[in-house]
C-alpha cells in the first residue's frame, strides 16, 4: 500500500539502520560518552491512531480508519504548535503506525529522521526502553511510535508521578502522546526515573 504524501513532500522511511551509539562531539571515558552524561534527553511515546477492523487482513497490515486519520492529523498540528515534534522518529513496521507517522508530519515541513524498526511491532515495555536508550540523542527529541500493551506499561513505569487517566479510565488511548524528560544518570529500566511533562490525547485537543 502506498503511503500518503504530506504537504512537505514524501516522508522517507529508513529501515532499521541501527542506533547511533555515540555523538560526533563525544569524549569517551570508560566506554561512556561524557557529552551524553551531561545532557538532557527528551523521550516521546506515542500509540498509533485508531485502526480499521473491517478488512480481513493480517494484524500488521490493518490501516487507520477515518477517525484515526483525523486524530493523527490533529495531533501533528498540536505537537507542532507546542514545538514537540520529534527530531528522530522510530516507527513500528505495522501499516497503522506508518500511516500515523505520515499524517503526524503532514502539517509541517520539518523532516525528522524516520527509522522503521521491526522490534517495535507489538513491543514490550522492556524492548521499548532498550530502543529508547539505544537511539537517544542528547538535547534532541526522540519519539517511539508503537502499540499497546507495551505503551501502557512503559508510560505507567517511567514517571516519578502517576500519569493521569482519560475520562474513560484508560491510559494510552489511540493516538495518545506522552512526553518525558530525563538525564543520562537516569536508568530507564528502573521505575519512576523520568519527569512526565505532558500526556496528550485526541480528546484533549478536539
Structural domain contains residue 63: yes
DSSP per-residue codes, the chain: -PPPPBTTBPPPPEE------S-TT--EETTEEHHHHT-EEEEEEEEPPPB--SS---GGG--B-HHHHHHHHHHHHHHHHTT---SEEEE-SSHHHHHHHHHHTTT-----EEEE-GGGTT--HHHHHHHHHHH--TTSEEEEEE-TTHHHHHHHHSBSSPPPP-TTS-SS-TT-EEEEEEETT--TTSTT-BEEEEEE-HHHH-
DSSP per-residue codes, 107-123: T-----EEEE-GGGTT-
Report the pLDDT value the prediction gives residue 138, as an integer from 0 to 100: 83
Digits of tens for pLDDT over the chain (206 positions)? 344 333 334 455 555 544 444 444 454 444 555 555 557 899 999 999 999 987 789 999 999 999 999 999 999 999 999 999 999 999 999 999 999 999 999 988 878 999 999 999 999 999 999 999 999 988 889 999 999 999 999 999 999 999 999 999 999 999 999 999 998 767 888 899 899 999 999 999 97
Structural domain contains residue 87: yes
Dmax (CA) of the chain: 54
Structural domain contains residue 155: yes
Structural domain contains residue 85: yes
Q: How many domains does the chain have?
A: 1
- All residues at 6 or more sequence positions from 100 whose CB lies less than 8 Å from its CB, including other chains: 46, 48, 49, 64, 68, 72, 145, 175
Report the pLDDT value the prediction gives residue 36, as an integer from 0 to 100: 53
Question: Whole-angstrom Cα distance, residue 17 to residue 122?
Answer: 20
Report the pLDDT value the prediction gives residue 86, as an integer from 0 to 100: 96
Domain range holding 88? 40-205
Structural domain contains residue 31: no
User: Residues 14, 25, 134, CA angle at the centre, nearest 5°?
Assistant: 45
CATH code assigned at 199: 3.40.50.1240
Structural domain contains residue 19: no
Structural domain contains residue 70: yes
Structural domain contains residue 14: no
Report the pLDDT value the prediction gives residue 11, as an integer from 0 to 100: 56
Q: How many C-beta atoms surround the C-beta of residue 206 within 10 A?
A: 8
Amino acid at each position: 500500500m502506498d503511503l500518503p504524501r504530506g504537504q512537505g513532500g514524501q516522508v522517507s522511511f529508513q529501515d532499521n539502520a541501527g542506533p547511533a551509539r555515540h555523538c560526533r562531539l563525544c569524549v569517551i571515558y570508560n566506554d561512556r560518552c561524557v557529552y551524553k552524561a551531561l545532557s538532557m534527553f527528551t523521550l516521546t511515546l506515542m500509540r498509533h491512531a485508531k485502526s480499521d477492523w473491517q478488512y480481513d487482513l493480517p494484524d500488521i497490515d490493518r490501516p487507520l480508519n477515518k477517525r484515526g486519520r483525523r486524530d493523527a492529523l490533529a495531533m501533528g498540528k498540536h505537537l507542532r504548535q507546542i514545538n514537540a515534534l520529534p527530531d528522530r522518529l522510530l516507527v513500528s513496521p505495522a501499516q497503522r503506525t506508518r500511516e500515523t507517522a505520515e499524517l503526524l508530519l503532514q502539517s509541517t515541513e520539518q523532516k525528522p529522521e524516520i527509522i522503521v524498526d521491526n522490534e517495535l511491532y507489538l513491543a514490550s515495555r522492556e524492548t521499548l526502553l532498550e530502543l529508547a536508550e539505544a537511539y537517544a540523542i542528547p538535547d534532541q527529541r526522540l519519539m517511539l511510535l508503537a502499540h499497546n500493551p507495551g505503551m501502557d506499561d512503559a508510560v505507567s513505569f517511567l514517571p516519578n508521578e502517576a500519569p493521569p487517566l482519560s475520562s474513560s479510565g484508560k491510559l494510552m488511548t489511540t493516538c495518545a502522546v506522552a512526553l518525558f524528560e530525563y538525564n543520562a544518570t537516569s536508568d530507564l529500566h528502573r521505575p519512576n526515573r523520568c519527569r512526565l511533562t505532558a500526556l496528550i490525547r485526541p480528546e484533549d485537543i478536539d
